[in-house]
Structure 1
Amino acid sequence: MSGGERETGLERLFPDMSVLYRLERMSLPAKGRFRGTMQGKRRSRAFGSSLEFADYRPYAPGDDIRRIDWNVYGRTGRAFVRQYWDEQELSVCLYIDVSTSMRFGEESGRKLDYALRLAACVGYAALAGDDRVAVRLFADGIVRELPMCRGRGAAHRLFRFLDGALRGDFEGEAGAAGGSDLYAAFRHPSALPGRSGQTWLFTDGLHESGLEDTIRALLAAGQDVVYVQLLSPAEIDPQLTGELRLIDSETGTGKEVAIGGSVVASYRQAVRQHCETIRRYCEERGVAYLFADTGRPIADTVLRSFREAGLLRG
């Protein structure tokens, strides 16, 4: 990819480039300690060689005598070894719903485009903090995948992958149409993260089933789950009146309806109840939930909503 193409891709992902610069000073908080695979900046469950003290344990033959705390020995007459937390990286997996309903809306304001830009922000914050990032596009199954990459130098791989999705490179591939069952994409064990870490799920939540099974599967895989639900302004507050034929974007089936004020009011209430059901289910299981209105600027969602929810810090 040439420099000019790369710049164009960045402009598509970051219409407000100031967001990118501010993300360099941010990081993803993680719940508690965890096990990683490479040296990083985060505390793991294992003991290691960082400078952060963890605990004492009795000296055993073969231990490094340089770790004996001689002050404790002088007070008690017994030898204890100092232990320190190991510091390793966080594995972050970004799942982005690319089913047909996510492509709803005007070309400049699709939910999918918004989700890809949010994923670019989260992914870059993780890479800038020396964490590992993988991306998986899903519909009825995993449509396309970016394997784990690590470090700020891998940002160009992340941006190139997400920009390709933004330009529709995956469209037309098997499984990209999507369906009514969210769990269809996560049913096979290979679709789940291979190691414990943090999973972000970007979706509109317009599935008839599968939410519970998907969350259970991700939690069982050792994931700290963040559920980001995206809806467009036209879905939140539709401006429709009269006799219309509405088409289901997933199935292609249509229905003749007469829309008046009472119908729109009932629809708005149904949307609120649906989103509240998802939020409540996530909350009960310790899953972070964030609602994103795609009519808001990306900078507002990332720098305000994500930070207020504790999903980004710095």
Structure 2
Amino acid sequence: MNIKKNVLPVEWGSKIGRYSLQSRSRIRGQHKGSHRSHRFGSSLDFSDFREYHPGDDVRQLDWNIYARTEKYFIKRFLDEQEMRVHILLDTTKSMVQDDKWELAKLLTAALGSMVLNKDDHLSFSYVTDTPVPPFRRKGASFQYAFEQTVAKLENHIVNKSFANNAMNIVPKDSTILIIISDGLEPIEEWQAFLKQTPKVAGDVRFLQLQTAQEIAPNFTGDVQLVDVETKEPLNVSMSQNVTTSYKQLREAHQQQLEALCHQYGIAFLPVKTYDGIQHILFQQLTKAYWIQ
């Protein structure tokens, strides 16, 4: 049997365990978790007092206040509910170029581990040419199983459009939806997908991965470029005009993608592969208040 290596360095276990995802959405889970919801329950986190009403739990009466005021008050505590987090990973061919793929897997494994470590519900999916059941688990005991799922993704590089097919595999009731992609597909396809995401999650986030070559190609002279998605070759003389035109088109695409996210209330965070996983994870994501 071919046993895959861990995606994350073993020494990261304790460090990742200190972080958790932060949500701007109301907690939707119906089971106990480690996140404070907006309603009251039976956790140990005290909230406030309110006057007793018939039918209230008499075990919550505060007798010290009664002794001072001769009025009945009950103690209210913050309820703790689980988050339901879904990670949606782009596995199209453009994502497996250079260092992008390794970074995408590291980020997926790290964020998923944070979710499971906090006893929240994690689901994970990716567009495939043939249907693959999504990963759905809750609890720290499934961290290794999730990491192995991410490690085996080399066998699932897809020929389909990610943006055109992603909505078919997204759960319909998530607290947080995290999209990990390079965002290179046509803006029209992204618009059709992104405008639907607020319907399935209260907190949607787009983590865009970019390489140095995508941002500023350093090719010179006569070269043959091959589209990684279609395999179609293109002979190009890399003049200053060609480079300038490419940069203008890329920047226009980037601005349109960011504008779409803003329009639909999606948190958008572009990161560069050369920044490295630790800087992205423990500095950029914390600065953006995605994790804490």
Determine which of 162, 165, 169 is the counterpart of 2:155.
169
Q: How does the TM-score come out when normalised to structure 2?
A: 0.87
The residue aligned with 1:239 is 218
Determine which of 178, 200, 204 is the counterpart of 2:160.
178
The residue aligned with 1:196 is 174
Query: CA–CA distance in 1 between the matches of 2:115 and 2:276?
Result: 21
Query: CA–CA distance in 1 between the matches of 2:267 and 2:143?
Result: 25
Q: For residue 35 of structure 1, give the secondary structure of its aligned residue in structure 2.
A: coil
Residue 143 (structure 1) shift:
5.0
**Aligned CA-pair RMSD:** 2.7
What are the equivalent positions in structure 2 for 1:24-103 lying under 5 Å apart? 24-54=17-47, 59-69=52-62, 79-103=72-96
Query: CA–CA distance in 2 between the matches of 1:138 and 1:210?
Result: 14
What are the equivalent positions in structure 2 for 1:271-310 lying under 5 Å apart? 271-310=250-289
Query: CA–CA distance in 2 between the matches of 1:96 and 1:250?
Result: 17
1:133 aligned to 2:119?
A: no
Give the AA of the match of 2:165.
Answer: A
Residue 77 (structure 1) shift:
7.5
Residue 122 (structure 1) shift:
0.7
For 1:158-216, what per-residue CA distance to the aligned partner results, in whole angstroms no more than 9, with x for missing partners? 11100111xx1224xxxx2022x613321x4xx22242311110011011123233233
The residue aligned with 1:262 is 241
Give the share of equivalent positions with the same residue, in percent. 27
1:104 aligned to 2:97?
A: yes
Contact 1:199 1:224 in 2 (8 A): yes
Give the AA of the match of 2:156.
Answer: F
For 1:14-60, what per-residue CA distance to the aligned partner results, in whole angstroms no more than 9, with x for missing partners? 3x544443111111111153121321110124431112344666644
The residue aligned with 2:112 is 123
The residue aligned with 1:151 is 139
The residue aligned with 1:212 is 191
Query: CA–CA distance in 2 between the matches of 1:142 and 1:233?
Result: 32
1:9 aligned to 2:2?
A: no
Residue 82 (structure 1) shift:
3.7
Residue 80 (structure 1) shift:
4.9
Q: How does the TM-score come out when normalised to structure 1?
A: 0.81
Query: CA–CA distance in 2 between the matches of 1:291 and 1:20?
Result: 25
CA 1:86–1:37 in 2, change beyond 3 Å: closer, same or farther? same
Contact 2:86 2:174 in 1 (8 A): no
Contact 1:34 1:196 in 2 (8 A): no
Q: For residue 159 of structure 2, give the secondary structure of its aligned residue in structure 1.
A: coil
The residue aligned with 1:160 is 148
Runs (5+) with no aligned partner, structure 2: none
Count of aligned positions = 291
CA 1:183–1:76 in 2, change beyond 3 Å: closer, same or farther? farther
For 1:199-257, what per-residue CA distance to the aligned partner results, in whole angstroms no more than 9, with x for missing partners? 11001101112323323322111331110111222211212122333332223333332
Residue 66 (structure 1) shift:
2.3
Contact 1:20 1:121 in 2 (8 A): no
Give the AA of the match of 1:178.
Answer: K
Query: CA–CA distance in 2 between the matches of 1:119 and 1:143?
Result: 20
Runs (5+) with no aligned partner, structure 1: none
Query: CA–CA distance in 1 between the matches of 2:74 and 2:144?
Result: 44
CA 1:239–1:248 in 2, change beyond 3 Å: closer, same or farther? same
Per mean C-alpha deviation after superposition, the further-off stretch among 146-155 and 251-260 is 251-260
